[in-house]
């Protein structure tokens, strides 16, 4: 159990394009999902926390108008990189937290999306 699917796995597009990435929890409900970004030789950095039915919480330095997050159901969160530029090229990865009534649960990760902006 605890499978998270992320799609697409790789995107190559021109500067100025908007790109949508989907994150689905396949066999569990997830009120809370997370979006991370990883640059080469760096650790995973949290961008935002996505909560079903409410606005996402963004980490300091992450532009919410640039990275639009929608969490419309208990199994789906989307990240849209609007008007992407070469500096947005990175590895984006989502995770989901299983809805359980107690704390200290691991996050379960998707396989990530490699975004390359030309």
Q: Which residues bind other proteins (CB under 8 A)?
A: 2, 4, 6, 9, 31-32, 34, 41-46, 49, 51, 93, 95, 97, 102-112
Least separation in angstroms between CB 79 and other proteins: 14
Residue 34 bridge partners (DSSP): 49, 95
**Phi-psi region for residue 111, left (φ > 0), alpha (ψ -120 to 50) or beta?**
alpha
Residue 10 bridge partners (DSSP): 114
Please give the Cα distance from 50 to 34 (Å, whole number): 6
Least separation in angstroms between CB 71 and other proteins: 13
Cβ–Cβ < 8 Å for 39, 66: no
Q: Which CB, 32 or 77, lies closer to other proteins?
A: 32
Q: Which CB, 29 or 82, lies closer to other proteins?
A: 29
Q: Which CB, 43 or 61, lies closer to other proteins?
A: 43
């Amino acid at each position: 159990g605890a499978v998270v699917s992320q799609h697409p796995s790789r995107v190559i597009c021109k500067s100025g394009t908007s790109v949508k990435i989907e994150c689905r929890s396949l066999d569990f409900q997830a009120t809370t999902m997370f979006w991370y970004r990883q640059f080469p030789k760096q650790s995973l950095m949290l961008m935002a926390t996505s909560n079903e039915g409410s606005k996402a919480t963004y980490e300091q330095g992450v532009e919410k108008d640039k990275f639009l997050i929608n969490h419309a159901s208990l199994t789906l969160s989307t990240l849209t990189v609007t008007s992407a530029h070469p500096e947005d090229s990175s590895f984006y990865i989502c995770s989901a937290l299983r809805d359980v009534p107690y704390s200290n649960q691991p996050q379960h990760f998707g396989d990530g999306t490699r975004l390359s902006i030309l």
